[in-house]
A and B are shown apart, each in its own frame.
Chain A
Amino acid sequence: MVVEVLEATFILYLPKLLFLKFNFIILTLLVLILGMFFLNLNVGNAQVSVSDIFKNEIAHNLIVNYRLPKTIAAILAGIALPVSGLLLQELFRNPLADPSVLGITSASGLGVAIIIFLSSVLGLTSMLNNPWLLCLASFCGAILGLSIIVFFSSRLSSTAGLIIVGMMVAGLASAIIGVLQFFAPSEKIKAFLIWTFGSMSGLSWTQIGVFVIMVMLGVLISLFTLKGISGMRLGENYAHTMGINIQKIRWLILISSAILTASATAFVGPVAFIGLAIPHICRILFKRTEIIQLYTLVVLIGVFSMLLFSWIAQIFPNENLPINIITSLIGAPIVMSIILNRNQYNWND
């Protein structure tokens, strides 16, 4: 009798409870994100809160044209980088894959650097104000970096090999950036250096518009890869025999992760570790493996984390902390723990 009751509980009701629990997690995260959203609008050097928005013109201007774009940029980066990281981890079957570890962020940064320095050489400073151009340059860099990685990944089967190639891509990109800096005027170097710290502030509504379009495009493309990704978890041969067009899926993953990385890099700067850490946090915290659930969680946790980091960056009096410092402080220990517990994932190597 007792056994039957227990069986009924576990076999019939537990799956339903877990399902409810997933919806509950989603709901909780949405509430938390909403809270962080308003916290971000409230925080800043000026003592202005959201409630002041209708009271005076300056507060209105500050919130609508400065804090709101900044908050939206954090949300977009919080979608773009973690999704890109998740896609790359699944594609390479490698727990350490992520845009920054694989050097794609750096390659993307090279595109941005070329635009920043070229504009001064050509005397066309207006180039810098064109968000599309910046995005395109960033995308070209990202695709170039990814192509190199893919070219080598077919010859490397180990986790370490892939990461080393990624480091080489990053090294090569920063070497070329170094050459560019050597010949560039000093004020451009400063502009570039500030960009490398990563910042979500100072974006115009036009830039935000381009950012939104790029992230939506990247996310849309990535949605078409999810079925293929779940099949490719058994390896390419099995995926093929389950009717999955591997070449197509691989290209879609590359293009969408390049678009996502490139747009985040172009507008927010080379933010490190977010793409790597968020998918792992989701796997460890929620133990979800079904790709669609994992994807949803990665998006929500990504948005929440970036809003949280953006808020932390601003709560210190007088100065804003660069976002890259915070993400590295949190991301680096996670990378180390993954390397130490590699068997936990039972992936390559």
Chain B
Amino acid sequence: MTDPILHIKDLTIGYSRPVCSGINATVQKGELVGLTGKNGSGKSTLIRTILGLQHSTNGKIEINSEDVNNWHVKKRAKEIAVVFSRLNQVPSIPVFDLVGLGRLPYKSGFSKLSEKETETIENALELVGIPHLKNRFANELSDGQLQMAMIARALVQDTQLVIMDEPTSHLDIENQFKIFELIYKLSQETGKTFIVASHQIELVLQNASQLWWMDNGKFYAGFPEQIAYEQKIFEKLSQEKIRFDYEKGSFQFQHPKYKKVNLVSDGSDLAYWVKRALERNGFEVSSVGNVIEVKNGIINLNEKVFRSISSLIEYVFIFEQE
């Protein structure tokens, strides 16, 4: 296995009082990590700590096996790009110039944008889907368009890691979908690693390949559906948001489906999460195909017993390829 791009070891975050301790996580190149938790659980503190805007009280953050604590602010800018939830003041500059600001870490003094950099900016605008906005002024854009421009700017910064802190928190539902769809697409197409902190648990679960869940000073990282199941995420979030309906489910992304499997469900929530994991990984749950049976907290496929959802998914992939 290759070296992880991000490795967090026994990290404690917070100001004078620790907000969350014992944070351990490993992120491989190209992953899309969803970070979620209740308000005040320390999502933003964790992000600010990774960005170096705030010091950790204990532990270590390594990017490409280097301790980021020793990094100069300029070095950090070439490795991590960021998108925050909103701009406090939107500058009245053209979108092209706004996206071009992503090249700042590579600029000295008065050097102009090179032809290659201009091309990079054009490509980023194209990739994000807003090439038609490049001559518009940033302060004339809608919130959703502005956030797309800020994402393009983060791409132009040419970093391996892109961190987003509540990128959709002030957007309407359509734009929330658009932004998550874009992040998913970018993680597939650019090979960059994304860490996205968000309250939009449904959107996170439908897109992330790894879930970080912060709750009551504790941190859990792992396979999204497994964490969601074990930590009873919906139940915990239900208190502060709308109640989640397991029967009806909710909004769905249309990831391309390429294989059919037959899920025999006992109606438990484990069966629900298995279904979601299958769907996220491109399986269509129907009445034909191989039979996966969920009963009494145990998953069965081809007379094999699986103790976790991740081991099932891994097996299904190998099985389906043969």
Chain A residues with CB under 8 Å of chain B are 93, 223-224, 226-227, 230-231, 233-235, 237-238, 240-245, 289-290, 292, 345-348
In the assembled complex, the CB of B166 is this many whole angstroms from the nearest CB of chain A, namely 13
- Which residues of the partner chain A approach B97 to less than 8 Å between Cβ atoms? 289-290
User: DSSP majority for the A interface?
Assistant: loop
B78 and A241 contact, CB distance less than 8 A: no
Q: Of B85-93, B228-236, B238-246, B291-299, which binds chain A? A: B85-93
Whether, in the assembled complex, B305 has its beta carbon less than 8 Å from a beta carbon of chain A, the answer is no
Q: Given the complex of chains A and B, what is the CA–CA distance between A225 and B221 in angstroms?
A: 42
Whether, in the assembled complex, B101 has its beta carbon less than 8 Å from a beta carbon of chain A, the answer is yes
Taking a contact as CB atoms closer than 8 A, the residue among B84, B90, B94, B105 that contacts A242 in the complex is B105
- Chain B residues bordering chain A, tally (CB within 8 A): 33
- A-B CB proximity, top 10 nearest: A243-B77, A243-B74, A243-B105, A233-B91, A289-B93, A346-B139, A241-B82, A242-B104, A235-B88, A231-B104
Q: Given the complex of chains A and B, what is the CA–CA distance between A292 and B97 in angstroms?
A: 13
Q: Given the complex of chains A and B, what is the CA–CA distance between A241 and B48 in angstroms?
A: 10
- Residues of B96-129 at the interface with A, using a CB-CB cut-off of 8 Å, are 97-98, 101-102, 104-105, 107-110
Whether, in the assembled complex, B51 has its beta carbon less than 8 Å from a beta carbon of chain A, the answer is yes
A234 and B110 contact, CB distance less than 8 A: no
Q: Given the complex of chains A and B, what is the CA–CA distance between A227 and B105 in angstroms?
A: 10
Chain B residues with CB under 8 Å of chain A are 51-53, 73-78, 80-82, 84, 87-94, 97-98, 101-102, 104-105, 107-110, 139, 157
Taking a contact as CB atoms closer than 8 A, the residue among B78, B91, B92 that contacts A243 in the complex is B78
Q: Given the complex of chains A and B, what is the CA–CA distance between A216 and B148 in angstroms?
A: 42
Q: Given the complex of chains A and B, what is the CA–CA distance between A238 and B55 in angstroms?
A: 17
- Which residues of the partner chain B approach A227 to less than 8 Å between Cβ atoms? 104, 107-109
- Which residues of the partner chain A approach B74 to less than 8 Å between Cβ atoms? 243
Taking a contact as CB atoms closer than 8 A, the residue among B51, B73, B107, B139 that contacts A245 in the complex is B73
In the assembled complex, the CB of B4 is this many whole angstroms from the nearest CB of chain A, namely 21
In the assembled complex, the CB of B201 is this many whole angstroms from the nearest CB of chain A, namely 25
- 24 inter-chain pairs at a CB distance below 8 angstroms, sorted by A residue, are A227-B104, A231-B101, A233-B91, A233-B101, A234-B98, A234-B101, A235-B87, A237-B82, A240-B52, A240-B73, A241-B77, A241-B81, A242-B102, A242-B105, A242-B157, A243-B74, A243-B75, A243-B77, A243-B78, A289-B94, A292-B110, A346-B90, A346-B91, A348-B89
Taking a contact as CB atoms closer than 8 A, the residue among B75, B93, B110 that contacts A233 in the complex is B93
- Which residues of the partner chain A approach B77 to less than 8 Å between Cβ atoms? 241-243
A289 and B91 contact, CB distance less than 8 A: yes
In the assembled complex, the CB of B27 is this many whole angstroms from the nearest CB of chain A, namely 18
B82 and A238 contact, CB distance less than 8 A: yes
